[in-house]
Homo-oligomer: A and B are copies of this chain.
């Protein structure tokens, strides 16, 4: 089952772009996983004292990604303002965590992978937000 398959099984036509939503959902699930794993791996490092903030930003980012995954997966009613605000919040969580992990990427493979997952997730959320904002503007008042 691809993400697109289950989204397209929704029983009504929806205006939103399924491919963009599916990309975002896939990136969000990857990012949540990477952040949870990175926090745990940081916790196991000898130099854990230098990774405290990295663990915190990992945990925040995982929480944000999981909430947004669920919100984006729902198609009924399209609450545009709710979706845009959570996309914006998650973009900031991913950007913050990506920046923090990138600082440790050369030393720790889990930080490198996590930074990568955060960047990819941020990009997928930005693409979806941009489409959502365009269609918002195109709507008659």
Contact = CB atoms under 8 A, between A and B. Distances in A.
A77 B56 contact: yes
B52 A77 contact: yes
How many A residues touch the partner, as a band?
Answer: 35 or more
Contacts of A96: 79, 81-82
Contacts of A70: 36, 59-60, 62-63
A85 B88 contact: yes
Interface of A: 1, 3, 5-7, 9-12, 25, 29-30, 33-34, 36-41, 43-45, 48-49, 52-53, 55-57, 59-60, 62-64, 66-67, 69-71, 73-77, 79, 81-82, 85-86, 88-89, 92-93, 96, 108-110, 113-114, 116-117
